[in-house]
Amino acid sequence: MHPKQEPSFLPLTVGVARSAGWSAEPAARARGGEVRRCAEEADAAAVGCWAALLGGCQSPERRDLPFRLRALAEATSGYVGTGWWYGGGSVHRRRVTEAQLRINDAVREGDGAEFAEAFVGYDQAIATAVVSVPSTVESPTP
């Protein structure tokens, strides 16, 4: 018998967020913890939203998901530093924004296939941003 496996829409992000900032100063660890918390909350909302999309119904997660994704993007910005996020990391920020818009459109339209596909891009964009700037974690720009 196999253990029950819950779906995950942010496996890369949750994985890297669990180790984000743990070898750094206390402030960086706190920012890493915020990314992890937001990633786990966004993932849980995505799972509930997915179930609602499959069932063709509304759910609190379906309404809450855009806020959870925005909170995760903001936590990521705080973790990597806003200077990098809007400077050298702007390509990551654009990828996150584009995927987030695709997810929001898919939720509004009830398009489960587009939802799943857009989440792959969102997960990869956030996770890549988190692991791309280890030196920024030590001294983020305001």
Overall domain count for the chain: 1
pTM for the whole structure: 0.88
CATH of residue 82's domain is: 1.20.120
> By residue range, what is the domain housing residue 80?
11-16+24-134
pLDDT of res. 138:
44
In a domain, 87, yes or no: yes
In a domain, 5, yes or no: no
**Angle at CA 118, nearest 5°, toward 114 and 121?**
155
**What CA–CA distance (Å, rounded) separates 31 from 50?**
28
In a domain, 83, yes or no: yes
**pLDDT of 140 higher than 90:** no
**What CA–CA distance (Å, rounded) separates 122 from 96?**
5
**pLDDT of 69 higher than 60:** yes
In a domain, 2, yes or no: no
In a domain, 48, yes or no: yes
- Mean pLDDT computed over 7-23: 86
Using one digit for the tens of pLDDT, what is the confidence trace for 79-101?
999 999 999 999 999 999 999 99
Tokens of 130: 């988190």
Tokens of 134: 């280890």
In a domain, 111, yes or no: yes
In a domain, 94, yes or no: yes
**pLDDT of 26 higher than 90:** no
Neighbour tally for 107: CB within 10 Å = 23
**What CA–CA distance (Å, rounded) separates 27 from 21?**
9
**pLDDT of 136 higher than 70:** no
In a domain, 6, yes or no: no
pLDDT of res. 141:
46
